[in-house]
Every structure is written in structure tokens, then in C-alpha cells.
């Protein structure tokens, strides 16, 4: 049995604008560590996998950026989407492009490229457990984090604590019951109080044949179009055909399209330090604070300021007499928000696009 890793490195990370942009999205930038996030992810996964079996899928326009970020990554291990269609098409395309290299019972594990991992040993142990469970259950096995606060920006998975074999139970494996995508804050509190929910990390393992059959069953239109792309692998017009077919694919996340629908979903309960770094509020939570509970990055002076995130890239920033504020300065723009509401930057992005001010988000 071979272990295969596919790292998802598409997307623009719009909720971390203005630092994350269409041209240079968050997965190719460094935030908490000194390395770009996708390189951090790749290096960690390669400690546990043969690099020959570690693939990165990204948008065609990011190929050069990916190669300069992960210099040791072979061209054979770079998989390209013509453009973005969300995570379900990206995963289906990645699998189709590597099918010929692997057997049906080999285990594929999907990894986001832009997560922050603290306890790396426990993280890798959880990945091992998901692989073992995928071998034993003929299911999709998601790595879940036991929640410690009501986060309304994450998906949750409810699990059953019975009806599982003892050897799987000892690995922390449970049968999934309900998949809940980004509940409101009161619902998130109820989930935590119930004690039988985990955060969905987006990491999951499955046999190649199981993942393929689940796509066939729950996303048949997507599966049919991906098969048309797969049939052209190795042909002279492969790239042209891939772009033509990909335009016909609807955008759908792997959560909505597959994980919410499947009857074969299991979870591995884990508790390693984890964040998907989706918003500036999450960035604030991850960073060390000064004595006034501020996070100050770059060329910044803050007087009579508390509970705030002030981050400078190029310009000097001076603030005084503010509380609970987020100020992010980048090459092209400045974003200001109250803490706790930074996810609303997505509304700003939509408004900027509507006003045809695209240069501000590139």
C-alpha cells in the first residue's frame, strides 16, 4: 500500500486581504512562521511521505510562484487547474491526473496548504490514524479537532461514540453523524456543550477507489466531466481539452458536495494545536501580545491603544487612543475593521470588484 498526499494550493485567501491578493495569495505568504504557508505544509508532509508521492494542485497562473516557493518540487508533482472551481473539482482533477500511477487500494490524503500546526507529532499521528482507518473501514476518514471555543467560521462534524470496532475506537476513530457547515455563534456554543462535535480541518484520507466511487455517486456530473479530462492525459491537446471541459464544471466545495452527503464518513478525534488562519481575527489570536493585548507588526507605534492588531508592510503606522481595532497595511491598500468583524472583508472585496477597482485586490 502506498501513501499519497495531495496539497490544495489554489484559492486567493480573500479574507486576509489586503496582504493576500489575486496575484500573491495567502498560501504563498508567511504569516506566523518565517516560511510561506505552502512550503511549511510541504516540508511537514514530506517528513511522513515519500516526496515522490506528494503532489500540489494549484491554479495555472500560480505555477511559477509555486515553483519559486517550493524549489525541490518536481514538475511531475505539480498539478494544475486552469482556474478555480472550489475544492471538490480540484480534488477530483488531482486524483484523475495521478490515477495511472497508483492502485485502487492505495491511500490518498487531502491536505489544505494554509493551516497552522503547533503540535506536529500529534498531527502526524492523527494522519497515521486516518490512513489506518481508511484501510480498515472502506470509508472517508476526516481529521477533526476537539473544539475549545465556539468558532462560527469553521465546519463541525457530529460523531457517534458507539458502533465502532475496538481497534478503531482506540485510534480515536468515530462514525460521523452530521456535518454542519459554519453555524451561527449560538449554534456553535450548543455544539461544544453537547461534547460530540469536532472542527472539520479539511484533511481526510480514503482509498483511491473509495474516493472515486463517492465522486461517482454524489457528484456524477463533476465525475463525468473529470473523466473526459482524464481520457486525454498524454495527448497533444490535453491542456486545451482540460480548459474547455473545466469551464463546464460548477463550483462546489468538497464539504458541500461530498462530505455532507456520504454515508461513509468517519472522523479521527484529535487535539493538536491547529488553525486554518482564515481571518485577521484568527491571526490576532495566534500571535503573541504585548502588555496591552496588542499585536504590533512592522513599523508601528501605538499609544493609549489596547486589544488591537496593527500590521505594517511598507508604511509607518501611528495610532493613539483606540481599542479593539484591526489595521492592515499592504503595498496597495489599507484595511481597517473592529476586531471580531474582520471576516466582513469579503463584502469589501465584492464591492471593490463591483466598482471595477480590481487593481486594489491584485
Helices 208-218 and 87-98, packing angle to 10 deg: 130
Cβ-Cβ contacts under 8 Å for 130 (sequence gap 6 or more) = 109, 141, 142, 143, 203, 204, 205, 268
Secondary structure element (H or E) that encloses residue 128, with its range: helix 120-137
CATH class of this structure's domain 3-275: alpha beta
Q: Given pLDDT bands bounded at 50, 70 and 90, which one contains residue 170?
A: confident
Cell of 79: 498539478
pTM, 2 dp: 0.95
Distances in whole angstroms, Cα of residue 30 to Cα of each of 19, 33, 110, 310:
10, 6, 21, 17
Q: What is the mean pLDDT of residues 70-88?
A: 97
> Hey, where are the domains in the chain?
3-275, 280-360
Q: Alpha-carbon distance 25 to 132, whole Å?
A: 34
Beta strands 197-207 and 156-160 are: antiparallel
Cell of 203: 484533511
pLDDT digits (tens, 9 = 90+) for 23-33: 999 999 999 99
Q: Alpha-carbon distance 117 to 48, whole Å?
A: 15
Cβ-Cβ contacts under 8 Å for 232 (sequence gap 6 or more) = 238, 241, 242
Structure letter (DSSP) for residue 258: I
Structure letter (DSSP) for residue 250: P
Cβ-Cβ contacts under 8 Å for 125 (sequence gap 6 or more) = none
Q: What is the mean pLDDT of residues 162-176?
A: 87
Buried residues in 134-169 as b, exposed as e (16+ CB within 10 A)? beebebbbbbbbebeebbeebbbbbbeeeebeeebe
Cite the beta strand spans of the chain per DSSP E: 3-8, 54-59, 78-81, 107-112, 116-117, 140-145, 156-160, 173-180, 197-207, 265-270, 274-275, 295-297, 300-303, 309-311, 317-320, 325-329, 334-338
Q: What is the mean pLDDT of residues 242-262?
A: 95
What confidence score (pLDDT) does residue 223 get? 97
Q: Which of 38, 41, 55 is nearest to 2 (CA)?
A: 55
Cα atoms found within 13 Å of the Cα of residue 313, Cβ hemisphere only: 16
Buried residues in 59-69 as b, exposed as e (16+ CB within 10 A)? beebeebbeeb
Contact 60, 80 (CB under 8 A): yes
Output Rg (C-alpha) for the chain, integer angstroms: 21
Cell of 81: 487547474
Contact 57, 81 (CB under 8 A): yes
Q: Which residues pair with 360 in a beta bridge?
A: none
Q: Which of 285, 286, 287 is nearest to 298 (CA)?
A: 287
Answer yes or no: is pLDDT of 315 > 90. yes
Q: What is the mean pLDDT of residues 79-91?
A: 97
What confidence score (pLDDT) does residue 162 get? 76
Answer yes or no: is pLDDT of 102 > 90. yes
What confidence score (pLDDT) does residue 196 get? 94
Answer yes or no: is pLDDT of 362 > 90. no
What confidence score (pLDDT) does residue 179 get? 87
Q: Given pLDDT bands bounded at 50, 70 and 90, which one contains residue 210?
A: very high
- Mean per-residue pLDDT of the chain: 94
Beta strands 116-117 and 274-275 are: antiparallel
Amino acid at each position: 500500500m502506498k501513501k499519497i498526499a495531495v496539497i490544495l494550493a489554489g484559492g486567493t485567501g480573500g479574507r486576509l486581504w489586503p496582504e493576500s491578493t489575486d496575484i500573491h495569495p495567502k498560501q504563498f505568504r508567511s504569516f506566523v512562521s518565517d516560511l510561506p504557508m505552502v512550503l511549511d505544509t510541504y516540508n511537514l508532509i514530506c517528513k511522513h511521505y515519500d516526496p515522490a508521492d506528494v503532489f500540489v494542485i494549484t491554479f495555472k497562473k500560480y505555477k511559477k510562484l509555486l515553483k519559486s516557493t517550493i524549489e525541490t518540487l518536481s514538475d511531475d508533482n505539480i498539478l494544475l487547474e486552469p482556474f478555480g472551481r472550489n475544492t471538490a473539482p480540484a480534488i477530483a482533477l488531482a486524483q484523475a491526473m495521478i490515477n495511472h500511477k497508483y492502485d485502487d487500494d492505495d491511500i490518498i490524503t487531502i491536505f489544505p496548504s494554509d493551516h497552522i500546526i503547533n503540535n506536529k507529532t500529534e498531527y502526524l499521528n492523527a494522519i497515521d490514524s486516518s490512513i489506518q482507518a481508511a484501510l480498515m473501514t472502506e470509508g472517508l476518514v476526516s481529521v477533526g479537532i476537539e473544539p475549545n471555543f465556539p468558532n462560527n467560521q469553521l465546519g463541525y462534524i457530529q460523531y457517534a461514540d458507539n458502533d465502532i470496532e475496538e481497534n478503531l475506537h482506540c485510534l480515536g476513530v468515530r462514525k460521523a453523524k452530521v456535518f454542519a457547515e459554519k453555524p451561527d455563534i449560538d449554534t456553535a456554543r450548543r455544539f461544544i456543550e453537547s461534547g460530540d462535535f469536532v472542527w472539520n480541518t479539511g484533511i481526510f484520507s480514503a482509498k483511491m477507489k473509495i474516493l472515486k466511487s463517492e465522486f461517482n455517486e454524489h457528484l456524477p456530473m463533476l465525475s463525468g466531466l473529470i473523466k473526459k479530462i482524464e481520457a486525454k492525459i498524454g495527448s497533444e491537446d490535453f491542456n486545451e481539452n482540460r480548459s474547455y471541459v473545466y469551464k463546464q464544471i460548477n463550483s462546489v466545495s468538497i464539504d458541500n458536495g461530498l462530505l455532507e452527503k456520504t454515508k461513509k464518513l468517519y472522523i479521527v478525534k484529535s487535539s493538536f494545536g491547529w488553525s486554518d488562519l482564515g481571518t485577521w481575527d484568527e491571526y490576532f489570536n495566534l500571535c503573541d501580545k504585548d502588555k496591552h493585548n496588542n499585536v504590533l507588526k512592522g513599523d508601528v507605534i501605538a499609544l493609549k491603544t489596547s486589544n488591537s492588531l496593527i500590521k505594517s508592510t511598507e508604511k509607518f503606522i501611528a495610532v493613539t487612543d483606540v481599542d479593539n481595532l484591526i489595521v492592515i497595511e499592504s503595498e496597495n491598500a489599507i484595511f481597517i475593521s473592529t476586531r471580531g468583524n474582520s471576516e466582513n472583508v469579503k463584502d469589501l472585496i465584492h464591492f471593490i470588484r463591483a466598482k471595477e477597482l480590481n487593481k486594489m485586490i491584485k
